[in-house]
Amino acid sequence: MNIRRNARLAMFAAVVAWAPHAALAEVTRIDVASRSPVLDGKSFGAAGPYEKIVGKVFFSVDPAHPRNKPIVDLDKAPHDDAGRVTFSADLYVLAPKEAARGNGVALFDVLNRGRKNILRDFNRARQGALDPTTEAEFGDGFLMRQGYTLVWLGWQFDIPRRGGLMTLDAPAVLDHGNPVTGRVSTTFTPNTADPTYPLDDLGRYADTTAYPPVDPASAANALTVRDGFMAVPHTIARDRWQFGRARDGQVVADVSALYLKDGFAPGHVYELSYEAKGAVVAGLAFAALRDMASAVKHERGGPIASKYAYAFGPSQDGRLLREFLYEGFNADEQGQRAFDGVIAHIAGSGRGGDFNARFARPNGHGFFVGSLFPYLDLDQHDPITGKTDGLLMHLQGDQRPKIFYTNTPGEYWGAGRAAALVHTTLDGSQDAKVPDNVRVYLLAGTQHVPGGYLASQGEGQQKPNPNEYSWALRALLVAMDRWVRDGSAPPQSAHPRFSDKSLVPRDAIDFPAIPNMRSPLTIPAGYRADLAGPPAAHPLPMLVPQVDGDGNEMSGIRLPNIVVPLATYTGWNFRSPAIGQPGELLPLTGSFIPFPATRAAREEAHDPRFSIEERYGSRARYQGLVTDAAKRLAQEGYVLSEDLPAIVDIALANWDELTRGTTLAGKGD
């Protein structure tokens, strides 16, 4: 391995290159554009100061290698003189300045639509820092104090390079030297009645700029609308819509937006279908993650080297990791294990056919179609197709990592992610065996991503669920690390089960009749997207965690806000009438419904839930109960002892807010 200076870069740059005998290395070089101290050299405990490394990784893969065969259209990518396919990806690393002071683990944060997750999810940092530079953007430094080398690698080809977003430079798919064309579909749900719907905003997940239409005016382009996710679609006449934007009283042609005469109907689901161009080999995302993890572990990662590699990915990225495992990418071209530990977070049973396909659409949410057979890690039989398969079927023995599946009730209830299918049989009738290398955890009483402390109303009928679950994620990461290093068993799986009646069909939920709150019994199940026919023909079992008399889950990791509640916390919510279709689920959003503060308020509202006053009587008693609940969780390994003071402080702040203006505010014994 040689390191040479690259004088062509305006900034300091180091280029890591490999000698000819290493030609089979999948990571061929790393160009480091800059190295700079983190927070002016601040020391993070025993790990010391950190540095930021920014650059690009260059890859070379053999399209004929059996490990690369699952990559769709790899054989149709341009080849170099050696018959290999080359590509590159953005790289961003936070590493101990002195590698020996780190913990020897490269923790890969699988980017979410080009954005970083892990400082928010583990360091409790301010959300949305694409290039963290301030104390607030690094949070409390938890991951640094643990000594992790944090790695971000661009994996998604359709992310624009702007504002710190990270991307993958994937090669084009060619047919006899010419770009291929094909049919592309994308869905979206407007919240306003505007005549223009922009498609180029990453927050909307319906970007057409990655695959522009071959002919924007073609009569074959189609737009349909349906009342809800599961409703029957109706075709909108072609002369009523076009690619374009309303501007100054006229419609301007623009393939990054749709214009609809009379405006879009808020809350309705639209599907756009058109002939597109610009397909790339999107499945190289899997090879990039695999080969970078392998390079880091086997000293081919240039300035980045660790003994172990773990991957954490939430939501879209959790589905990506499940697909990564299913397609066998945790074994590199030499058959070595890539990631030693995998945490697939808030993915439910979803994977996603749109990560590795011609005209892949990784930005999609996978609403109601995120679940594809197989769902279990162990082999299971599908009576409809006759196929027997399992998520880990394409990995052998030591190639299989330690795995945590962490979900909120939102993945059981909403968007058809059918989280129960990771631990039940396919017919939804009984508990299934979970393999020894896997743990499954429900983060009870939380939503897909926490809604923030006492969140504002938002787009739902109820306030979004603010219950913070980072405390559990921190403890589970510590447990994963011990499990990988020395085989210390992590906390037992904590999820709803048929065996103790904590997992039930939707219609058996005992949810209380809270005033002005819609029943969850109308929430539809997802469906088998891998089978032909209308959605209703192949529904998935709708299995959800049973709740107590307050509407809070009785199983899973029950954080103090659930053990000693001040409110009902759900993983589901319905659309506000202000954004249309109030009978439809608001995907990925939970509900926060505080208890009445006093008995008088409860009686006036006819609320079936006991008031805060009746439950606890005083702030001091509540504090004692919350403290005891937090200590029990720490003893069980579901939270860390160091986090107990912060957990209690936040609970007390919640008390103060919800009892403000009553005799309970600040009330002692």
Determine the longest span between alpha carbons in the chain, in angstroms: 81
- Rounded to an integer, what distance in angstroms lies between the CA atom of residue 184 and that of residue 199? 14
Note the pLDDT of residue 14. 42
Give the tens place of pLDDT for each residue, 425-470: 999 999 999 999 999 999 999 999 998 655 566 899 999 999 999 9
pLDDT bucket at 228, cuts 50 / 70 / 90:
confident
222 and 300 part of one domain = no
| The pLDDT value given to residue 203 | 53
Average pLDDT rounded to a whole number, residues 366-373? 68
Weakest mean pLDDT among 5-19, 92-106, 173-187, 498-512: 5-19
Answer yes or no: is 499 within a domain: no
Q: Are residues 160 and 46 in the same domain?
A: yes
DSSP for 142-169, written as a single string: HHHHHTPEEEEE---TT----TT---EE
pLDDT exceeds cutoff 90 at 18: no
When comparing pLDDT for 515 and 534, which is higher?
515
Q: Are residues 298 and 164 in the same domain?
A: yes
- DSSP labels for 175-223? ETTEE-EEEEEEEE--SS--SEEES--GGGT---SSS-BS-TT-TT-EE
Same domain for 167 and 304? yes
Instruction: Please choose, from the candidates 164, 165, 167, the residue with its C-alpha nearest in 3D space to the C-alpha of residue 154.
Output: 167
Report, as an integer, the average pLDDT of 395-421.
93
Mean pLDDT of 592-610: 97
Q: Are strands 591-594 and 341-345 parallel, antiparallel or unpaired?
A: unpaired
Whether residue 374 has a cis bond before it, omega within 30° of 0: yes
In the prediction, which pLDDT does 366 show?
59
Q: How many domains does the chain have?
A: 2
- Please, which pLDDT band fits residue 17 given cuts at 50, 70 and 90? very low
Res 10: pLDDT: 31
Cα–Cα dist 462/632, whole Å:
31
Integer Cα distance of 496 and 505 in angstroms: 12
Secondary structure element (H or E) that encloses residue 288, with its range: helix 284-297
* Least confident interval from 27-41, 534-548, 562-576: 534-548
DSSP H/E element including 138: helix 135-138
Cα–Cα distances (Å) from 619 to 29, 190, 447, 610, in that order, read 59, 44, 26, 16
Mean pLDDT of 643-654: 97
Residue 470 within a domain: no
Beta-bridged to residue 274, according to DSSP, are: 184
Range of the domain at 94: 2-171+282-364
The residue from 213, 243, 277 where one domain ends is 277
Q: How many CB atoms lie within 10 A of CB 19?
A: 9
Task: Give residues with Cβ within 8 angstroms of 365, minimum separation 6.
Answer: 205, 316, 415, 587, 588
For residue 627, tell me if it sits in a domain. no
Q: Assess whether 298 and 167 both reside in one domain.
A: yes
Return mean pLDDT, the chain: 91
* Interval 34-55: pLDDT, tens: 999 999 999 999 999 999 999 9
At 614, list the tokens: 């009746």
Q: Cβ atoms within 10 A of the Cβ of 364, count?
A: 19
- The whole-number average pLDDT for the span 411-430 is 92
Could you give the 3-state DSSP secondary structure of residue 479? helix
Say whether both 339 and 265 belong to one domain. no
Q: Convert the pLDDT of each residue in 145-204 to its tens digit.
A: 999 999 999 999 999 888 899 999 999 999 999 999 999 998 889 999 999 999 876 555
Q: Is 216 a residue whose pLDDT tops 90?
A: yes
Q: Are residues 150 and 15 in the same domain?
A: yes
Residue where one domain finishes, among candidates 258, 277, 296: 277
Question: 129 and 197: one domain?
Answer: no
pLDDT at 214 over 70: yes
- Given a cut of 80, whether residue 2 has pLDDT beyond it is no
Cβ atoms of residues 575 and 459 within 8 Å: yes
Of 335, 332, 322, the closest CA to residue 287 belongs to 332
Out of 308-312, 453-457, 480-484, pick the least confident. 453-457
Verify that 55 and 138 share a domain, yes or no.
Answer: yes
- Give the pair of three-digit tokens for residue 624: 């004692």
Q: Answer whether residue 380 is part of any domain.
A: no
Note whether 162 and 307 are same-domain residues: yes
3-state SS class at 500: coil
**In terms of pLDDT, which residue wins out, 574 or 160?**
574
In the block, which residue shows the tokens 């299971």? 380
In a domain, 561, yes or no: no
Average pLDDT, integer, range 123-135: 89
Binned at pLDDT 50, 70 and 90, residue 415 comes out as low
Strands (E), 97-180: 105-109, 149-153, 168-169, 174-175, 178-179
Which 8-state DSSP code applies to residue 611? P
The pLDDT assigned to 372 comes to 87
Please check the confidence at residue 23 and state whether its pLDDT lies above 60.
Answer: no
Q: Do the domain assignments include residue 637? A: no
Distance of CA 512 to the CA centre of its chain: 30
Phi and psi torsions of 219, nearest 5°: -70, -20
Q: What are the backbone dihedrals phi and psi of residue 244, each rounded to the nearest 5 degrees, phi first?
A: 165, 180
What band does 9 get if pLDDT is binned at 50, 70 and 90?
very low
Of 110 and 361, the one with more pLDDT: 110
pLDDT value at position 4?
32
**Which of 277, 311, 331 is the C-terminal boundary of a domain?**
277
What phi-psi label fits residue 290: left (phi over 0), alpha (psi between -120 and 50 degrees) or beta? alpha
Mean pLDDT to the nearest integer, 533-551? 90
Can you give the pLDDT at residue 68? 97
Q: List, as own/partner pairs, every contact residues 123-132 make where C-beta atoms lie below 8 angstroms and the sequence separation is at least 24, other chains included.
A: 124/468, 124/470, 130/163, 130/164, 130/165, 131/92, 131/164
pLDDT value at residue 669: 52
CA distances from 624 to 467, 562, 668 (A): 19, 15, 11
Indicate if 235 and 316 belong to the same structural domain: no
Mean pLDDT for the stretch of residues 5-14: 34
Here the tokens at position 59 are: 């890859």
Q: What pTM was estimated for this model as a whole?
A: 0.94
508 contacts: CB under 8 Å, gap ≥ 6 = 546
pLDDT exceeding 90 applies to what percent of the chain?
82
**Residue 109 near residue 117, CB atoms below 8 Å:** yes
Query: Would you state the structure tokens that stand for residue 130, as one six-digit string?
Result: 């694409």
Q: Is the dihedral of CA 403, 408, 413, 415 positive or negative?
A: negative
Give the per-residue pLDDT at 103: 97
Which two structure tokens, joined as six digits, stand for 20? 């000819």
C-beta of residue 74 within 8 angstroms of C-beta of residue 284: yes
Whether 142 and 209 map to the same domain: the answer is: no
Q: Are strands 50-61 and 250-260 parallel, antiparallel or unpaired?
A: unpaired
pLDDT the model gives residue 365: 62
CATH number (domain holding residue 247):
2.60.40
Q: Is the pLDDT of residue 403 over 70?
A: yes
11, pLDDT greater than 50: no
